[in-house]
Structure 1
Amino acid sequence: MDIFKNSDLKELIADRNAPCVSIYAPTQKGGKGLDLSHWKHLLENAERQLTAWNCPAEQRDSLLDPAYSLLKDEEFWKYTSEGLALFIAPEFLRAYRLPFPFAEKTQVSHSFYIKPLIPWVQDDGRFYILALSQNHVRLLEATRHAVHELKPGAPTSKAEANQNHEHENLLNLHTHHDAAGKAMHAVFHSQGGDDTRKKELLHFFQKIDHSICGYLGNSQAPLIVATVEYMLPIYREASKYPHLLNQGIAGNPAHWNATELQSRALPLVEPIFEARTTKAVAKFHEWAGSGLTTPELDVILPAAKQGNLQSLLLVPDQDIWGNYDAQTQTVEVHQTPEPGDAELGNLAAIYTLQHNHAVHSVAPQKFFDGSPVVGVYFYAGLNNAQSRAKRVEKNSV
Structure 2
Amino acid sequence: MSLINEKDLEKLMNVQNKTCVSIFIPTQRAGKEVLEEKNKTHLKSLWKDVSNELKDKKVSEEVLIKIGKPIEELINDRAFWRHQSDGLAIFAAEDFFEKYTLPVNFEAHTYIAEEFYIKPIVPILSGDASFNILSLQVEEVKLYEATKFSIGSVEIDDLVPSRLEDRVGYDYEEKTLQQKSGASSMGQKNMHGHAGSDRERKDEILRFFSAVDKGLNEYLQKEKLPLVVACQDYLFPIYKEANTYQNFYEEVVPGNPSDSDMFGLHEKALQILEPVMEKTKLEKMKKFDELNNTDNTGASVTDILPAVQQGKVDTLFLENRSEIWGTYNEDNMNVTIQDDQQNGNYSLMNWAAKEVLRQGGNVFLIPEAQMPDKNSKMNALYRFK
TM-score normalized by the length of structure 2: 0.76
1:239 to 238, 245, 257: 245
Deviation at 1:91, TM superposition (A): 2.3
Query: In terms of mean alpha carbon deviation, does 95-104 or 85-94 score higher?
Result: 95-104
Distance 1:343 1:81, change over 3 A: same
Letter in 1 for 2:237: Y
Structure 1 residues not aligned, in runs of 5+ = 164-191, 381-397
CA distance in 2, matches of 1:336, 1:95: 27
Q: Which residue of 1 aligns with 2:276?
A: 272
Cα deviation 1:338-377 (Å, max 9, x = unaligned) = 2232200111111111123211111112243421111111
Cα deviation 1:113-154 (Å, max 9, x = unaligned) = 122223444435332111345653211123455544210442
Q: Does 1:204 align with 2:211?
A: yes
2:87, 2:105 within 8 Å by CA — same for their partners in 1? yes
| Length, aligned pairs only | 346
Q: Which residue of 2 aligns with 1:19?
A: 19
Structure 2 residues not aligned, in runs of 5+ = 170-198
Q: Which residue of 1 aligns with 2:332?
A: 328
Q: Which residue of 2 aligns with 1:72?
A: 76
Which structure is larger by alpha-carbon Rg, 1 or 2?
A: 1
1:218 to 213, 223, 243: 223
Cα deviation 1:366-394 (Å, max 9, x = unaligned) = 243421111111212xxxxxxxxxxxxxx
Q: Secondary structure at the match of 1:138?
A: strand
Deviation at 1:26, TM superposition (A): 3.6
Matches within 5 A, 1:1-397: 2-28=2-28, 29-30=33-34, 32=36, 35-51=39-55, 53-132=57-136, 136-144=140-148, 147-152=151-156, 153-155=158-160, 156-157=162-163, 200=207, 204-205=211-212, 207-213=214-220, 217-218=222-223, 220=225, 222-227=226-231, 228-236=235-243, 238-239=244-245, 243-249=247-253, 257-365=261-369, 366-380=371-385
Cα deviation 1:211-245 (Å, max 9, x = unaligned) = 4226xx3364x211345133333344x225xx332
Deviation at 1:278, TM superposition (A): 2.3
2:368, 2:374 within 8 Å by CA — same for their partners in 1? no
1:161, 1:207 within 8 Å by CA — same for their partners in 2? no
1:314, 1:359 within 8 Å by CA — same for their partners in 2? yes
Letter in 2 for 1:246: E
Distance 1:32 1:82, change over 3 A: farther
Q: Which residue of 2 aligns with 1:186?
A: none
Identity %: 26
Letter in 1 for 2:100: Y
Q: Secondary structure at the match of 2:18?
A: coil
Q: Secondary structure at the match of 1:224?
A: strand
Deviation at 1:253, TM superposition (A): 5.0
Distance 1:199 1:47, change over 3 A: closer
1:115, 1:346 within 8 Å by CA — same for their partners in 2? yes
Distance 1:229 1:119, change over 3 A: same
Superposition RMSD on alpha carbons, in Å? 3.4
Letter in 2 for 1:104: A
